[in-house]
Amino acid sequence: MACATSSIRTSGSAEVGAAAPGEALLAVRDLRVRFYTLRGVVHALEGVSFEARARESVGLVGETGCGKSITARSVLRLIDPPGRIVGGEIRFDGVELLDLDATEMRAIRGQRISMIMQEPKVSLNPVMRVGDQIAETLLIHDRRLGKRAARIQAVEMLAAVRIPDPKRMARHYPHELSGGMAQRVMIAMMLVTRPKLLIADEPTSALDVTIQAQILDLMTQLIEEFQSAVLMITHDLGVVAETCDRVVVMYAGSVVEAGPVATVLHHPQHPYTKGLLATLPDRAAADTPLYTIPGNVPNLFAAVEGCRFAPRCTHAMERCRSQPVPLTALSGDHRVACFLHADQGASDT
């Protein structure tokens, strides 16, 4: 079914930059985030680096608390006190986002970079009709666009996300929607400005399996239509396998492995990635208990010089606990942060 998007458009603000040919649309380098609490300093992100190219879907995966959502919020500069971005680079479409002031960042946030939050019914305004909420997104970024034109585009976008009778649905309030319909409204709201980068934070976590498949298929078609890049945040490796081109595996606020989805999922090189895949139910033999990674996640109040996975790793060496682990380039675009491979490939600088 073709998406009804031909007449959807926005004027928007002027472009603040453009990536050079061959340059990644989004490039995160050595990103470090701290939370300064009464109990001490939480080292939430430590040296996170990855890229997302135009028209590419990149999955950020890892267990709960590994820093996926904090990474996404850092890209949008939405880290609130006591949190703070203390170092690194976030380059989007040729512009260093950490150098922009609040006004310049607002011109990008919501228009050129959009984010679908978890649990859409919580994110939607309960006292506004859904059509008005989508129209408001357009009006915020283009004040020259009249309310009537914005409402027309809102209805067109509801049709594009396959909501039946979009004119009637535009008059509904969020509490009148099912979970799947609310998620479609959120997708419509985030894509109505045709962003270059869409961040999807667990977009299917609150939906049943059938609706999950429909939402993922819808996102894939709309992203292809709008030629957007996607940063997919999820703990579901099945979602990554179905929808992403590349995957970035995170553990305790750091990147441990990254590369093409097929390569990482079928030929994992980091012990944590191997352990994560081994915990999948379909990997377990009949009549055997599910595999669990031994040990516990590290205390992020303490700064770690070496590999954060070392206390749980059966292959850990002395230098794993005391030396920074380089992100080593293996074949092609495959990279791994592990001393088992540091002498076999070239380290990223």
pLDDT at 179: 82
Q: Report the first-to-last Cα separation within the chain, whole angstroms.
A: 45
Confidence of residue 304 (pLDDT cuts 50, 70, 90): confident
Distances (CA, A) of 221 to 22, 69, 112, 209: 24, 24, 19, 19
Q: pTM for this structure?
A: 0.86
**Residue pair 145/10 in contact by the 8 Å Cβ criterion:** yes
Cβ burial of 330 (10 Å; 0-12, 13-18, 19+) is: middle
- Name all domains of the chain by residue range, CATH numbers in brackets: 26-235 (3.40.50.300), 262-347 (no CATH)
Condensed to tens digits (0 to 9), the pLDDT of residues 73-106 reads 999 999 999 999 999 999 999 999 999 999 999 9
Mean residue pLDDT across the chain = 86
pLDDT at 341: 85
Give the contacts of 155 (CB within 8 A, at least 6 positions apart): 131, 166, 167, 170
pLDDT at 40: 94
Tell me the percentage of the chain whose pLDDT exceeds 90.
54
For residues 307-332, give the mean pLDDT: 90
Cβ burial of 297 (10 Å; 0-12, 13-18, 19+) is: middle
Condensed to tens digits (0 to 9), the pLDDT of residues 126-180 reads 999 999 999 999 898 887 888 999 999 999 999 988 899 999 999 999 999 988 8
Q: Inform me whether the pLDDT recorded for 10 exceeds 70.
A: no
Confidence of residue 206 (pLDDT cuts 50, 70, 90): low
Give Rg (Cα) of the chain: 21
Confidence of residue 3 (pLDDT cuts 50, 70, 90): very low
pLDDT at 344: 61
pLDDT at 277: 92
Give the contacts of 231 (CB within 8 A, at least 6 positions apart): 26, 52, 58, 60, 72, 75, 197, 198, 199, 200
